Amino acid sequence: MTFDPTGHLLLTPVDREAPLRVRRLRELGFGDRPDPAFDEFAHRLAEVTAAPYSMVNFIDENRQFFAGLHTPTGEYHGSDLTAVAAATGEVSRFMARDHGYCPHVVVRRKALVLEDVCDYPRFAGNPVVDEIGIRSYLGAPLIDRTGVALGTICVVDTEPRPWGRPGLETIKGLAAELMDQIHRREAGAM
């Protein structure tokens, strides 16, 4: 976390690992195109948590890319998630790095549970609250065998959700499961 010269809290944490992450994502061939296996995983994640939105998210220096995405309508449009129209539920696979909570999860390298983002001043001012209507978040980092945090898996809702410890354990277990799949995929490509 940093502050701007006017004394306002900047919501996006400093990410010193981003260049290493980008190199690793390129090695794996992730981060720039949708992947049906990741879409399937995001769909399963939504089913397990009963969340309307779920993502397999890879983060570079400037943006987030949802290589796996589940939405209530199954549609993805627009230039980024800020283009979401509440009435249509349209979602894109890209979002600015300063939107949402996944950049915090990647930098912290720990799961994050926000049952109601408005209860946390540090997170309540994030653009996804006003622009998209996000009220709850549950995410875990995807840390690969080299120790690089590649991105996250996460679920979000437009209503507060009592995720609690069961939600935390679920998201962490699913992140480990996806990393196993990624490692198997990498081993098969070698």
CA distance linking residue 172 with residue 124, whole number of Å:
23
Q: Which helix (H) or strand (E) holds 33?
A: none
**6 has a pLDDT exceeding 50:** no
pTM to 2 decimal places: 0.85
- Of 129, 22, 126, the C-alpha closest to 65 is 22
- Contact between 61 and 97 under an 8 Å Cβ cutoff? The reply is yes
What sections of 63-162 are H helices per DSSP?
Answer: 102-108, 121-124, 127-132
Q: Please, what is the average pLDDT of the chain?
A: 86
Q: Is the pLDDT of residue 111 over 90?
A: yes
Q: Domain locations in the chain?
A: 18-189
In this prediction, residue 91 carries a pLDDT of 62
Partners of 96 in the beta sheet? 63
What pLDDT, on the 0 to 100 scale, is given for residue 48?
Answer: 97
Q: What is the pLDDT of residues 131-190, one digit of tens each?
A: 788 999 999 999 999 999 999 999 999 999 999 999 999 999 999 999 999 999 999 876
φ, ψ for residue 118, nearest 5 deg: -70, -10
> Measured between alpha carbons, how far is 81 from 96 in angstroms, rounded to an integer?
8
pLDDT computed for residue 5 by the predictor:
42
Lowest mean pLDDT of 48-62, 78-92, 105-119, 151-165, name the range: 78-92
CA atoms 69, 70, 75, 81: torsion sign = negative
Q: What are the structure tokens assigned to 131, written together? A: 């622009």
pLDDT digits (tens, 9 = 90+) for 24-49: 999 999 988 899 999 999 999 999 99
Percentage above 90 pLDDT, the chain: 65
Q: CATH class for domain 18-189?
A: alpha beta
Whole-number pLDDT of residue 88: 42
Per-residue model confidence (pLDDT) at position 42: 97
Residue 98's pLDDT band (boundaries 50, 70, 90)?
confident
Does pLDDT of 52 surpass 50?
yes
